[in-house]
Amino acid sequence: MYGTGLRPLSIATVVLIAAALSLTFFYAPLDADQGFVQKIFYLHVPLAIVALLGFVAGGAFAIAHLRSGDRKWDAYSYVAIHMSVIFGVAVLVTGGIWAKASWGHWWVWDEPTLVSFLIVFLMYATYYPFRYAIEDRDRQARYASVFAITAGAFVPLNFMAVRMAESLVHPRTFATAEGGLPGEMMFTFLVSLAAMALLWVTLVKLELTAKSASGQLKRLRRALDAPAPGGSSRVAPEVS
Amino acid sequence: MDLLPIGAPALPLDEAGKYVAGAYVVFLVLLLVYVAIMAVKLQRIERELRELATFAEARANAEEAAPQEEVSAP
């Protein structure tokens, strides 16, 4: 029963997003350097953190799948990666808008943070053709899990490499040696991060519920020996 | 490097506002598109479920009618 608790979770997500937006625009002070444009920070950075953590979670679910052989974990891994790719699109677009406002360019190719995120995103974009190129469901799930684990391990390594790189244009916001964020900004950021994390969890749960309903429907159709509807030939993971 | 944002003058609100609004609108649109796709999926599931219910009812009716025909036949 993947839908259990979806309603309170959705309400909590809406409340937390409303709180995050209110704090962003009415509580957090204007940044001394960037002014109003810095408000994009409270959307862009939490989205990026949640997307990257989601990729890692996809790898962790894939480990559980390979260890147990339970197809449920493969579906979890697929949905976690799927949701993180969607968040990744939002990160790239909002990042581009922020870059244009701050730096005068939509994209800066010699900036390690941007390019590394694009590499991670493109790597996960290959997950879909890789997965759907395999028709046998067991092989598909196994190979997709291996991909998710390898790519999931690459994400923190990539993050550490970027942190070690010398960057001129992307400030280290949380570097305590250089001051870090003031209290109000940090509080607003943490609420925004919690809101995005809750949104990710809610959407993952919603997607799993839809997949579960679809799986149950196919089971029912098989049990009744009913004719199959003309649908997609794509072999997507299911949960039952 | 001219791209350095730190120390650069902040954009005036009328110019900065459109970028901030753009970023938040993009996020909202993505969310709405996702919800719309999920709504379409839900509609498909509902339609298939209705078809299955009709199929199951028709089969149950046919099974009920079949023995009665056998009994009533001379």
Per-residue pLDDT tens over the stretch A35-87? 889 999 999 999 999 999 999 999 999 999 999 999 999 999 999 999 999 99
Question: Could you give the CA distance from residue B17 to residue B50 in angstroms, rounded to a whole number?
Answer: 48
Which positions in chain A touch B7 (Cβ < 8 Å)?
33
Quote the tokens at residue A8.
């309170």
Q: Which residue has the tokens 């979670």?
A: A57
Give domain status of residue A1, yes or no: no
Question: Could you give the CA distance from residue A28 to residue A203 in angstroms, rounded to a whole number?
Answer: 27
* Domain enclosing residue A96, as ranges: 36-166+182-211
Q: How many domains does chain A have?
A: 1
Give domain status of residue A92, yes or no: yes
Give domain status of residue A110, yes or no: yes
Query: B1, B4, B13, B26: best mutation site toward chain A, by most A Cβ within 10 Å?
Result: B26
Report percent pLDDT > 90 for chain A: 61
Hey, which of A97-101, A215-219, B5-9 has the most confident mean pLDDT? Answer: A97-101
Which positions in chain B touch A224 (Cβ < 8 Å)?
52, 55-56, 59
Three-state secondary structure call for residue B7:
coil
Write the burial class of residue A28 (CB in 10 Å: 0-12 exposed, 13-18 middle, 19+ buried).
Answer: buried
* pLDDT in the model for residue A222: 87
* pLDDT in the model for residue B31: 93
Give domain status of residue A64, yes or no: yes
Q: Which residue of A has its CA nearest to B22?
A: A97
Q: How many CA atoms lie within 13 A of A157 on its CB side?
A: 8
pLDDT tens digits for A108-128? 888 888 899 999 999 999 999
pLDDT tens digits for A126-155? 999 999 999 888 999 999 999 999 999 999
Give domain status of residue A240, yes or no: no
pLDDT band per the 50, 70, 90 thresholds, residue B5: very low
Quote the tokens at residue A48.
């990026």
pLDDT band per the 50, 70, 90 thresholds, residue B4: very low
Cβ atoms of A22 and A229 within 8 Å: the answer is no
ipTM greater than 0.95: no
Cβ atoms of A19 and A191 within 8 Å: the answer is yes
Residue A7, min C-alpha distance to chain B (Å): 15
Quote the tokens at residue A113.
């943070």
Give domain status of residue A29, yes or no: no
Three-state secondary structure call for residue B62:
helix
* pLDDT in the model for residue B16: 84
Residue B67, min C-alpha distance to chain A (Å): 20
Question: Could you give the CA distance from residue B38 to residue A79 in angstroms, rounded to a whole number?
Answer: 13
DSSP assignment of chain A: -TTTTHHHHHHHHHHHHHHHHHHHHHTSPPBTTTBGGGGGHHHHHHHHHHHHHHHHHHHHHHHHHHHH--HHHHHHHHHHHHHHHHHHHHHHHHHHHHHHHHHS-S--TT-HHHHHHHHHHHHHHTHHHHHHT--SHHHHHHHHHHHHHHHHHHHHHHHHHHHHS--SSS--TT-GGGT---HHHHHHHHHHHHHHHHHHHHHHHHHHHHHHHHHHHHHHHHHHTPPPPS----------
Cβ atoms of A9 and A205 within 8 Å: the answer is yes
Is pTM, for the whole model, over 0.80? yes
Inter-chain CB proximity A214 and B23 less than 8 Å: no
Q: Which residue of A has its CA nearest to B25?
A: A94
Give domain status of residue A171, yes or no: no
Which positions in chain A touch B23 (Cβ < 8 Å)?
40, 43-44, 93-94, 97-98
Q: Provide the mean pLDDT of chain A.
A: 88
* pLDDT in the model for residue A165: 73
Checking if the pLDDT of A161 tops 90, the result is no
Quote the tokens at residue A134.
């395999």
pLDDT tens digits for B15-60? 788 999 999 999 999 999 999 999 999 999 999 989 988 988 888 8
Give domain status of residue A234, yes or no: no
